[in-house]
Amino acid sequence: MSDIFRDSVLRLSHVPGVSGALIVDVSAGVPVIEELKPHTDGTAIAALAAALFRRTVQASDTAGFGGLGSLQLSADHGQMFIAGANDLLVVALLEDDAQIGRVRMEANRAARALRGLDEANA
Amino acid sequence: MRGTDLPRLVAVLRDPIETFVRDSRVRVSLLITGSGQILAQHGFTSSYEVMNVASLAAAAHAASRALAQLLHVGRWLHLHHAGTNQEIFLATLETPVEKLIFVTIFDTESSLGLVQYFFGQLSDRVGAMPELSYAERSADQKTFEADLEAGLDRVLTQQPRNEV
């Protein structure tokens, strides 16, 4: 099982412009596995990304938009892409020049693999 | 802490605790000394609840510390209990005068990760407070009980707006 987690974050973190990748337990807000640059606080990123995703799910639901598949946060000096996978999140930290299309593809692919794992275990 | 230090300590601790509660979206928070003296609280509605949680938190802290010594694992960073609807997080907060015990209760509005993250900020902020550098511990058994009760009285009488 951990191979799927490790493979997912490794593939994602090797996409040009991706500065880090994590899989996060969304209800606990803690990292399951992470591949980050030194001095990057994965615990803080996991907690805040999970809180952001959960709030956005609530907002989307309240607004009648239905379920939330993914979320992209753009800031002055970087971006964050989060894909939901049941009780897990795939989180990618991106530099400004990241290949966003490829990041979305890899993150969604990882999310599908994790959802498949979840369903296989059910 | 001595009863004479309490008015100042309770006043300066209020803002960091409220900031923690607001940012982490927890329901209830309590900051006590190792002997169960209450320094700050948010979310409790009665002194009975505060006293119970304070004494249980102090006991849980003492038991977990003894367990850590028994197992030779140093000290626990935090104790987390995940219940069906609510979760409890208990951790020590280092100050120059003594270790304080922080306990918070949260539900699905928050998460363990958020509580850990904002507790780190709270810990840094409270640990650096100059007011805690020159506070003194209760001197002896005679003053201990009076200091203990003074904490409860001051925290509950000065924070009625925190009730939920």
pLDDT in tens, A43-92: 999 999 999 999 999 888 888 888 899 999 999 889 999 999 999 999 99
Query: Is B114 within 8 Å of A51 when comparing Cβ atoms?
Result: yes
Q: What is the pLDDT of residue B164?
A: 39
More confident residue, B2 or B162: B2
Which residue do the tokens 């399951």 mark?
Answer: A32
Structural domains of chain A in order of their starting residue, each with its CATH number: 2-121 (3.30.450.30)
Q: Measured between alpha carbons, how far is residue A18 from residues A12, A27, B50 in Å?
A: 7, 25, 48
Q: What is the pLDDT of residue B162?
A: 44
Mutate one of A32, A40, A43 to test the B interface: name it (highest B CB count within 10 A).
A43
Ramachandran class of A95: left when φ > 0, alpha when ψ lies in -120 to 50, beta otherwise:
beta
Please write the tens of the pLDDT for every residue from B73-102: 887 889 999 888 899 999 999 888 888 999
Lowest mean pLDDT among A65-69, A70-74, A118-122, B7-11: A118-122
For residue B91, the SS3 value is strand
Which residue do the tokens 């626990």 mark?
Answer: B76
Chain B closest-CA separation from residue A89 CA (Å): 14
CA-based torsion, B109, B158, B45, B82: positive or negative: positive
CATH 3.30.450.30 for the B6-162 domain, yes or no: yes
Q: What is the pTM of this model?
A: 0.79
Burial class from Cβ neighbours inside 10 Å (0-12, 13-18, 19+) for residue B117 reads buried
Kind plus residue range of the DSSP H or E element containing B53 = helix B47-71
* Helix A100-121 vs helix A2-13: crossing angle, to nearest 10: 170
Query: Is B116 within 8 Å of A47 when comparing Cβ atoms?
Result: yes
Q: What is the pLDDT of residue B161?
A: 45
Angle at the Cα of A86 (from A57 to A92), degrees rounded to 5?
A: 75
ipTM over 0.85: no
Query: Is A29 within 8 Å of B113 when comparing Cβ atoms?
Result: yes
